Amino acid sequence: MTSDKKWTAVIVDDEELARAVLHEMLSHHPEIEIIAECANGFEAVKSITERKPDLLFLDIQMPKLDGFEVLELIGTDMAIIFATAYDQYALRAFEVHAADYLLKPYGADRFEAALARAKERKGAKAPEPAELRASATAPGHYADRIVVRDGTNVHIIPTAKLDYIEAQDDYIALTSRGSKVLKQQTISSVESLLDPKQFLRTHRSYIVNLDRVAKVEPYGKDSKVAILHDGTKLPVSRAGYARLREVLEGKS
């Protein structure tokens, strides 16, 4: 980025007054242009994918999507400054490579420091967005929904509604009630997000919601197939079958 070109910034916060604080503090920085202000997660995903800002000010607890879900959908190819009243997300924020974490209320000094860090940070290599979620999830806490972006639209899939997940090259297909949604993520990283009591890796390419499994039958010589309540047949590997038996026997 050349120094004479303006930086573009997007502000995401559901409270008007909180946006006003950022507005005012940025007014002392003519080199930064605010190109959008968003009051919820959906708007944020839409305007960030369309306008690709250099700098993002992001609240965490918001309507529709929280700040981390927004990041998961748009990637972190920009400098991110979190601004929130909650201190318990600080660790997660740095795990998603945020430039800084502002605790509300903050003063001008703290804001300037955050901005300076963000400018240093711009251009640094960002990790894959979907992998961020896995590294930023606290152990013992599992996702209760999965967010998927389709252009500027966002799908929210509660994990309880998932039937199974299938790996397809660089994508995973999330299947619920016969309809499939594709997401760019590895099957291993999505596996680590899901509650192992409910979801099981039954095959190199499949994760199954245990509640949906009707029965497991032999298939061919020494392989097995899982049959779901809706009749879908999914291959089960030898290791997958061992895991499945362990879980099912542990339950009964």
Residues that bind another protein (CB under 8 A): 14-18, 20-21, 24, 39-41, 43, 61-66, 69, 85-86, 88, 103-107, 144-145, 156
DSSP-derived pairing of the beta strands 32-38 and 145-150: unpaired
Whichever of 20 and 248 has its CB closer to another protein, that residue is 20
CB 110, min distance to another protein, A = 12
Whichever of 61 and 168 has its CB closer to another protein, that residue is 61
Radius of gyration of the chain measured on its C-alpha atoms: 21
Q: In this structure, what token pair is assigned to residue 168?
A: 């397809």
Q: In this structure, what token pair is assigned to residue 231?
A: 């009749």
CB 70, min distance to another protein, A = 10
- Whole-angstrom distance, CA of residue 109 vs CA of residue 127: 29
Alpha-carbon distance values, 68 to 47, 182, 189 (Å): 16, 20, 16
Whichever of 54 and 69 has its CB closer to another protein, that residue is 69
Q: Give me the residue label for tokens 């998927």.
A: 148
Whichever of 68 and 206 has its CB closer to another protein, that residue is 68
Whichever of 82 and 206 has its CB closer to another protein, that residue is 82
CB-based contact 39:14 (threshold 8 Å): yes
Q: In this structure, what token pair is assigned to residue 248?
A: 């099912």
CB-based contact 58:36 (threshold 8 Å): no
Whichever of 65 and 200 has its CB closer to another protein, that residue is 65
CB 40, min distance to another protein, A = 4
CB 21, min distance to another protein, A = 4
- Whole-angstrom distance, CA of residue 115 vs CA of residue 202: 47
CB 156, min distance to another protein, A = 6
CB 69, min distance to another protein, A = 6
CB-based contact 5:48 (threshold 8 Å): no
